[in-house]
Amino acid sequence: MKNIWIMLLLVCGVCAFTACNDDEKTKEPELSDLVTDIKMPEKFMLVGADMEITGKGFEPSVAKLFLEDGEKKRTEVKDAEFTTTGVYFKTPETAGTYSVILSQDEREMVLGEIRVVEPVANVVMPLASVKLGEKVTVKATGLRTTAKIVLEDVENNPVDVEATITSSEVTFNAPSKAGYYTVILSEDGNDDVLGYFSVITKRVSKITQVMKALPMEGDEEEPYSETYSFAFQYADGLMKSIDFFTYEEGTCSFDYSEENKITVLSGGEEYATYTLKNGLVVKHSYDEEDYLWGYDAKGYLTSAGGFSFEIEDATGNLVDVAAAFQFEYGEDENGYSNVNPLGYLLYPLGIYQGNDMLMPYFLDKCGKHASKLPVKFSSDAYGIVGEEFIYTWDNEHKFITGVKFVLGEQEYTVTFEYED
């Protein structure tokens, strides 16, 4: 009996020793042993974007990649492409936070975590210029509540603003300084330009343009003259109608019922439509023709209806239009109103021939503009070198009330009136 117990003890000892050896043979290495020197993206990724994770130790012949969402649902990334130093794949089409899991040699390792977001889209900027301190609302899809809002002025200086962000709307108060501003959604070094808007102190109520032929020596008759005018009416800050007297005469009204579209009506019928993107007119349709408007990365107008615009990078000044007119600038700055005076002057200068081209300027939807005023213009087409713009000002020398210049054989006087 004693021998039997000894034999049983020996058998148990051998079994225990064998079991220990088996455990040592099947023990997996630490997770960090699979891949080292891992580099994950430092910021969030957009849905469906190309993504790269690098490291040392990938084995392309046996490696597989999985994504695990917040509910622990795991999906294999079928299109993952491996090299010995990394893996390349597209992010999921569904926004969320995912663990990235590497499977290799029947072992697994969590490489890291990625945050996938929807792109910002369907941005709707304010339809009109806003006064100092007024509430500004920007609507969009894909807004990130973890981001912050940054404003930049025309010189690209950041402007502090306290904003409330939801997934579909941003609200903040306009700065206390008039000017043109860029609205930026910023997070993790990624900036999304939502759009552009202007902060003004006055609204233009009327523009009158008088063209008078210069008297010729020996003429006894009164020189020919012609008067154009635009009178503006507003409601809740929006331009509601314009009484115009030009080569056409009448009243036009504005329909803002469709997002990112402004329709101008004349006599109850559609006169022109203006398509907006990021708060800027990008296309207008008139007389069954479409005209495109283009902008640079800073929001300055570079083309409109086939005309090109050259902007001086350092100042934002418009220095050339359609290779036909060149402008020189002084130090005087005009206060910000809802109509850029130089934009209007393109009308009597003959760059723009129709009222339809003026509407984006009246609506203040044709991009940033510098505050300085041109003091001279030149034109090879007219044989003009350094013709002066002569301005008149309000009592505080903040807003121009008029500008006079000579073009060819005509003298032009343009006056600006403002709301109280």
3-state secondary structure of 312: coil
Alpha helices in 249-377 (DSSP H): 341-345, 355-362
pLDDT at 308 over 60: yes
Q: Find out whether 328 and 377 touch, Cβ atoms under 8 Å.
A: yes
Q: What is the pLDDT of residues 59-68, one digit of tens each?
A: 999 999 999 9
At 215-272, the pLDDT tens digits run 776 666 778 899 999 999 999 999 999 999 987 789 999 999 999 999 999 988 999 9
Q: What is the pLDDT of residue 105?
A: 82
CA atoms within 13 A on the CB side of 88: 6
362 SS3 class: helix
Q: Are 204 and 198 in contact (CB under 8 A)?
A: no
Poorest-pLDDT segment among 203-212, 336-345, 385-394, 395-404? 336-345
Percent of all residues in the chain with a pLDDT value above 70, rounded to a whole number: 91
Average pLDDT, the chain: 89
**Residue 138 pLDDT level (bands cut at 50, 70, 90):** very high
> Helix, strand, or coil here: 62?
coil
DSSP state of 18: H
Digit-coded pLDDT (tens) for 70-85: 999 999 999 999 999 9
pTM of the model: 0.83
More confident residue, 204 or 19: 204
pLDDT score for 218: 65
- Specify the residue for token string 């418009």: 318
Quote the tokens at residue 18. 């064998």
> Strands, DSSP E only, in 78-174?
81-83, 86-90, 96-104, 107-117, 121-124, 130-131, 135-141, 148-152, 158-159, 164-165, 169-173
Distance of CA 33 to the CA centre of its chain: 46
Please state, in angstroms and rounded to a whole number, the distance separating the CA atoms of residues 243 and 362. 13
Of 282, 285, 251, the C-alpha closest to 266 is 251
